[in-house]
């Protein structure tokens, strides 16, 4: 009698399957990013038209430079969204590059001589931090270029029995983990 009562409650939550729910949320997120791409592309074409109008005489150097740099920022943001759609991650390098170009655009538009010294100092500090991020990014392990530590652990947990998992002192001691590590290292060597 208890079994008949338990079945409807488990069937009632069947739509909460984690894998299908995650896939559905990822599809909705991809649709949002695609709509952002379309909107950003439309805005880029409008900005490009405005930039061509600013090239007509009388020519204002600050306006033309500002429009060109703003268009480059939009192109980099579009590239950031495309990378996200392809790899399902945000590219740190592209985000830092967009930040650097945005700060430089503001400095050029306002003019170095017209800006307050504290704003210039803050901009210099920000640019220094962004430059350090670009340099440090090179030494970070290539998590997204074929080596995925989360995949390693999930594969190891799927392939090992619970007894083998409890016997293993360290996750890297398993022969299954060693084979996954070798596969990832071969993949990385083949990419470079």
Q: Which of 40, 38, 30, 141 is nearest to 89 (CA)?
A: 30
Contacts of 16 (CB under 8 A, 6+ apart): none
| Alpha helices (H) along 55-174 | 61-87, 92-110, 117-139, 149-159, 162-167
Q: pLDDT tens-digit profile of 151-188?
A: 555 666 666 655 555 555 444 455 555 666 566 556 54
Residue 169: its pLDDT value, please? 46
pLDDT in tens, 68-84: 888 989 998 999 999 88
pLDDT for the residue 145: 52
């Amino acid at each position: 009698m208890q079994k008949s009562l338990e079945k409807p409650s488990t069937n009632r939550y069947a739509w909460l399957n984690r894998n299908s729910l995650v896939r559905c949320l990822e599809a909705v997120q991809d649709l949002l990013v695609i709509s952002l791409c379309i909107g950003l592309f439309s805005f880029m074409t409008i900005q490009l038209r405005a930039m061509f109008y600013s090239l007509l005489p009388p020519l204002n150097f600050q306006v033309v430079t500002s429009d060109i740099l703003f268009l480059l920022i939009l192109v980099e943001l579009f590239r950031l969204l495309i990378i996200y759609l392809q790899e399902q991650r945000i590219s740190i390098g592209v985000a830092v590059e967009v930040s650097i170009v945005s700060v430089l655009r503001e400095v050029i538009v306002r003019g170095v001589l017209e800006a307050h010294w504290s704003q210039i100092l803050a901009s210099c500090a920000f640019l220094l931090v962004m430059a350090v991020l670009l340099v440090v990014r090179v030494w970070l392990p290539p998590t997204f270029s074929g080596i995925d530590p989360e995949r390693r652990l999930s594969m190891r947990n799927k392939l090992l029995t619970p007894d083998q998992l409890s016997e293993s002192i360290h996750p890297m001691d398993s022969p299954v983990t060693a084979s996954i590590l070798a596969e990832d290292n071969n993949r990385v060597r083949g990419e470079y």
